[in-house]
Structure 1
Amino acid sequence: MITINTNEEIQKIARSGEILAACHRELAKRIKPGVTTWEIDQWVEDYLAQNEAIPAQKDFMGYPYATCASVNDTVCHGFPQKTPLKDGDIVTIDMVVDYKGWLADSAWSYAVGSISKANTHLLKITEAALYKGIEQAIPGNQIGDISHAVQSHAEAHHLSVVRPFLGHGIGRKLHEPPEVPHYGKAGTGPLLKAGMVITIEPILTLGSHHVHILEDGWTAKTIDGSWSAQYEHTIAITEHKPLILTKQ
């Protein structure tokens, strides 16, 4: 059953979102050549503890870290590593914050130093696709309207949408109904109603949308080695317009 949250409950999720957004703002200052994603993960865990929050994905279904750190051709769920980031890399940091039992989720892709023209295009269009999806998150629309908006924008700019990984409802639990695909037909899927809180989190690639999972059971990489990016917000659907709860 899809949860319809009260305004008070949305504000509780928003508080988690504020902590998460502030964490990403600080990360943007720290990500540079020579830094490791292991160091980033340790810093995030300390930052959340200082703000009386918990990294909700740590130990979720056995995941061992406070963040997912996905570099270059890793599309999502990458384990933090002690290998330094290099000039020209792109890295996505994905995290879920639990503040007093209410959760928010956001991923963001960062350029490490100076990146190529193609990867600049990848980051720009992936972020824009996220906001195209958010624009459709209004009462009376359907999940498929979000999906179609994301896919249309991506493919119009010659990028592919990774399909196995979906947005989702969120609030008291990390994954709640409904699922939110980032590809599909407009006018399909569950009806959007005020009070719903969902994540929209497209992953786009420069090449194929096909992926494979490494032996660790988590790390997903593109099948053709093409690089990828992801941007994600937690949003509340309101009577008037989408409310971004993880806005940086």
Structure 2
Amino acid sequence: MIELRTPTQIEQMRPAGRFVADVLTALQDKADVGVNLLELDELAHQMIKDRGAESCYIDYHPSFGASPFGKVLCTSVNDAVLHGLPHDYELQDGDLLSVDFAASVDGWVSDSALSVVVGTPRQEDLDLIETTTRALEAGIAAALPGNRIGDISAAIAAVAHAKGLAINTQFGGHGVGRTMHGDPHVPNDGRAGRGFKLQAGLVIAIEPWFLHTTDEIFTDADGWTLRSADGSRGAHMEHTVAITADGPLVLTRRA
């Protein structure tokens, strides 16, 4: 069921958005060569405790997950692009790290993700992150009352296709509110003018993710981490966006 939020409720969602943005900023600052993925997860866990927030991941067990997730972050490295289960791994020079984080504050959820290169970057990784970022901003710009879900999807896809990237539509954006995942689904490819008509009060996560040379993925033996079929690296960017009469309001925008 698609739910619309009142202007008052959208204001009540702002603290969750600010918190998620602050956590991702802290994680981006912390991520460095030699830092363990479990250290990143512990930092986020401590920030959740300090804020009195609630993790959206730790008990999360959808049909595609092998078991309850058990951590508060998704940390996807190199050929892993989504749902990376934090484990005992120290970041290496040149690693491409994607971090996805969602939390509830005062009963309202926000969800956001970013990708960074640790240490010495490869130019192709920087280019992939830049393309994914531009695709996210294009999707946000299309999140206007009167447009349709397909307009967001088409805007994201246009950026990716211009760079010759293939697009997987198994996982994409989604509604956000009292829970992390709700209707509508917001795929990263689609036809403009199609799908649900956007209205003020709709709150969605827009989240393009791309791989260098494929759109094929498989699930790692941990039952969660999604990896590219050909070993190519991936980038993932996401914001929680409220559609208002004045245009899109990005609740998880980082300073």
Within 1, Cα distance between the matches of 2:35 and 2:95?
A: 11
Within 1, Cα distance between the matches of 2:183 and 2:92?
A: 38
State the match for 2:36 in structure 1. 36
State the match for 1:20 in structure 2. 20
Taking the TM superposition and a 5 Å limit, the aligned residue runs for 1:1-248 are 1-61=1-61, 62-248=68-254
Q: State the number of aligned residues.
A: 248
Within 2, Cα distance between the matches of 1:26 and 1:217?
A: 28
Deviation at 1:108, TM superposition (A): 0.7
Asked whether the 8 Å contact 2:140–2:206 carries over to 1, the reply is: yes
Within 1, Cα distance between the matches of 2:69 and 2:206?
A: 21
Secondary structure of the 2:41 match is: helix
Asked whether the 8 Å contact 2:74–2:101 carries over to 1, the reply is: yes
Unaligned runs of 5+ in 2: 62-67
Within 1, Cα distance between the matches of 2:251 and 2:133?
A: 16
Unaligned runs of 5+ in 1: none
Within 2, Cα distance between the matches of 1:244 and 1:81?
A: 31
Within 1, Cα distance between the matches of 2:23 and 2:127?
A: 25
Letter in 2 for 1:220: L
Within 1, Cα distance between the matches of 2:129 and 2:252?
A: 18
Deviations 1:2-28 (A, max 9, x none): 111011111222210100101111112
Asked whether the 8 Å contact 1:122–1:159 carries over to 2, the reply is: no
Within 2, Cα distance between the matches of 1:84 and 1:5?
A: 42
Asked whether the 8 Å contact 1:138–1:237 carries over to 2, the reply is: yes
Deviations 1:151-176 (A, max 9, x none): 11011012222321121101111111
Secondary structure of the 2:247 match is: coil
Within 2, Cα distance between the matches of 1:159 and 1:202?
A: 12
Within 2, Cα distance between the matches of 1:160 and 1:45?
A: 35
Deviation at 1:66, TM superposition (A): 0.3
Letter in 2 for 1:197: V
Asked whether the 8 Å contact 1:3–1:196 carries over to 2, the reply is: yes
Within 2, Cα distance between the matches of 1:28 and 1:183?
A: 28
Letter in 1 for 2:185: E
TM-score normalized by structure 2?
0.95
Secondary structure of the 1:60 match is: coil
Deviations 1:182-230 (A, max 9, x none): 0011111100000000000111111111111123321110111110000
Letter in 1 for 2:27: L
Asked whether the 8 Å contact 1:39–1:82 carries over to 2, the reply is: no
Within 2, Cα distance between the matches of 1:89 and 1:214?
A: 18
Asked whether the 8 Å contact 1:151–1:183 carries over to 2, the reply is: yes
Within 1, Cα distance between the matches of 2:252 and 2:94?
A: 27
